[in-house]
Amino acid sequence: MTDAETTATTGAEAEAEQSAEQLPSYEAAREELVETVRALEAGGTTLEQSLALWEQGERLARICQDHLDGARRRLDAVLDTDD
């Protein structure tokens, strides 16, 4: 691997770590998702507000799923080493 490739890889890894640190925890994202769904279900919002809430809910659901997928990978890794 060249120095440029190493730097690019290191930079990408650092960026991914920084991005992960900025994401809310699973619990925080789930709670915010619950509140977002409640706001949508309550109605009384304009179409634009509803769309914004929907988009926020999709983003939060993706964050929650990413946390769950990461937890599954960790469990699988531990279970694989036990065999």
Read off the pLDDT of residues 32-55 as tens digits, 9 standing for 90 and up.
999 999 999 999 999 999 999 999
DSSP string, 4-31: HHHHHHHHHHHHHHHHHHHSPPHHHHHH
Quote the pLDDT of residue 81: 84
| Distance separating alpha carbons of residues 4 and 30, to the nearest angstrom | 40
| Distance separating alpha carbons of residues 70 and 81, to the nearest angstrom | 17
Tens of pLDDT, residue by residue over 57-77, are 999 999 999 999 999 999 999
Q: Which domains does the chain have, with CATH numbers?
A: 25-82 (1.10.287)
| Distance separating alpha carbons of residues 14 and 9, to the nearest angstrom | 9
Quote the pLDDT of residue 79: 92
Q: Is the pTM of this model over 0.75?
A: no
| Distance separating alpha carbons of residues 10 and 22, to the nearest angstrom | 18
